[in-house]
Amino acid sequence: MPEKYLHIVCLDVPYPVDYGGVFDLFYKIKALHKAGIRIHLHCFEYGRGEQPELNKYCETVRYYKRQEGHKGFSTRLPYIVSSRINEELNKDLLADTYPILLEGIHCSFPVLDERFANRKIIVRLHNTEYFYYKQLAKSTNNLFRKAYYWHESYLLKKYEKLIAEKATLLAVSEQDQKHYREEFGAKKIGYLPVFLPFETIESKTGIGCFCLYHGNLG
């Protein structure tokens, strides 16, 4: 059987697994590695540093600087996208013809690049991003942040519709899948649940006495 290779582009360095957004990233990499997929990992690094642990599961791991602040700002594109447009990354992806998994709308700009027109590309949706930023705008009393979140939500709604028309998508929830189909007219979209480290059930049967605490313990 021929070896199977895959490029994965991550919006952040997916290790250590210390916040919710990287669970799916890291444990998907582990699952694919276990399935025999040879992974070329590409990460945007902006504070988490290079992580040798990732070398255990990937053929290569490359890091790229995210253009933060005014350097990554665009009047046409959402900041989470424009700050991750990187020509060095594009050249690395174009060096072969392996399939590409783009993690999040954040990393999806190659879908709009004509050089990738004939490549097999999947965009993993982590959220309905425009709606998320809309809720952030409603929840803050800081006028500067509120204006930024509303503007980002406006740009994201247009951008997500464009990506939905062009890309093959994988949602993390059935709700997001339904949303993309109904609001953005996505035709090529599937549902794949979040990858987690828990592979066996170890809890006792019956009803116990528990307290659930959900929050940032940092």
pLDDT averaged over every residue in the chain = 93
Low-confidence ranges of the chain (pLDDT < 70): 1
Contact 93, 116 (CB under 8 A): yes
User: How much is the pLDDT for 97?
Assistant: 96
User: How much is the pLDDT for 172?
Assistant: 94
- Edge-to-edge strands of the sheet including 100-103? 60-65, 37-45, 4-10, 100-103, 121-125, 168-171, 189-191
pLDDT over 90 for what percent of the chain?
A: 83
User: 15-61, pLDDT tens digit by residue?
Assistant: 999 888 899 999 999 999 999 999 999 999 999 999 999 999 999 99
- Of 3.40.50.1110, 3.40.50.2000, 3.40.50.150, 1.10.10.10, the CATH number of 4-127+159-191 is 3.40.50.2000
User: How much is the pLDDT for 1?
Assistant: 61
Domain coordinates of the chain in residue numbers?
Answer: 4-127+159-191
Give the pTM. Answer: 0.89
Where are the extended beta strands (E) located within 3-113?
A: 4-10, 37-45, 60-65, 100-103
